[in-house]
């Protein structure tokens, strides 16, 4: 019964495309420095949401009050840290999983792989299917800085063909 409800609930949610802002950045190819610098699309961040705001938003979408949501989120953080210390992957159902990766120097000899070559640890996130699917529905719009002039060849709708570089 729980599984049936869960499947019906997720199917009833409509995924709506969101316009995701991006800007551009000029970067050098560090592996082939003789090649020219290239421009790349860069995700434009639009503020941030802290744990209190998340608790407020969650409270509005369910019957749990803000204080209880905040307690659960803080307890989740504490338990995730303990799990990482034990080397465990934290799998949060359909949300995805969190795990630790290490940065280290390389060695030519297997027995030289010791604690001293480790430079640090990072937490990585692998999203679940619903989040991956939501990322596929994004549409993109170039972020324009105040005072930035419009490109006369860019129709602004993100569609159409790219100009022919051979002309």
Residue 133 has pLDDT above 70, yes or no: yes
Mean pLDDT of the residues in the chain: 81
What's the pLDDT at 116? Answer: 92
Average pLDDT score over residue span 35-58: 90
147 — pLDDT class (breaks 50, 70, 90): low
What's the pLDDT at 8? Answer: 40
88 — pLDDT class (breaks 50, 70, 90): very high
Distance CA 82, CA 76 (A): 10
**Distant-in-sequence contacts of 99-107, Cβ < 8 A, 24+ apart:** 99/123, 99/124, 99/126, 100/124
Average pLDDT score over residue span 113-133: 94
Average pLDDT score over residue span 60-69: 94
């Amino acid at each position: 019964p729980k599984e049936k409800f869960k499947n019906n609930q997720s199917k009833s949610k409509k995924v709506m495309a969101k316009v995701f802002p991006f800007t551009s950045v000029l970067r050098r190819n560090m592996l082939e420095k003789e090649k020219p610098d290239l421009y790349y699309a860069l995700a434009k961040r639009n503020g941030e949401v802290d744990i209190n705001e998340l608790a407020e938003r969650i409270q509005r979408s369910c019957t749990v009050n803000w204080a209880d949501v905040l307690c659960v989120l803080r307890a989740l953080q504490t338990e995730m840290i303990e799990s990482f210390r034990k080397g465990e992957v934290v799998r949060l159902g359909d949300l995805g999983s969190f795990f630790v990766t290490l940065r280290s120097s390389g060695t030519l000899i297997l027995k030289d792989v010791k604690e001293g070559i480790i430079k640090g640890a990072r937490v990585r996130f692998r999203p679940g299917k619903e989040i991956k699917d939501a990322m596929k529905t994004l549409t993109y719009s170039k972020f324009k800085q105040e005072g930035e002039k419009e490109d006369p060849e860019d129709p602004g709708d993100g569609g159409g063909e790219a100009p022919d570089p051979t002309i």
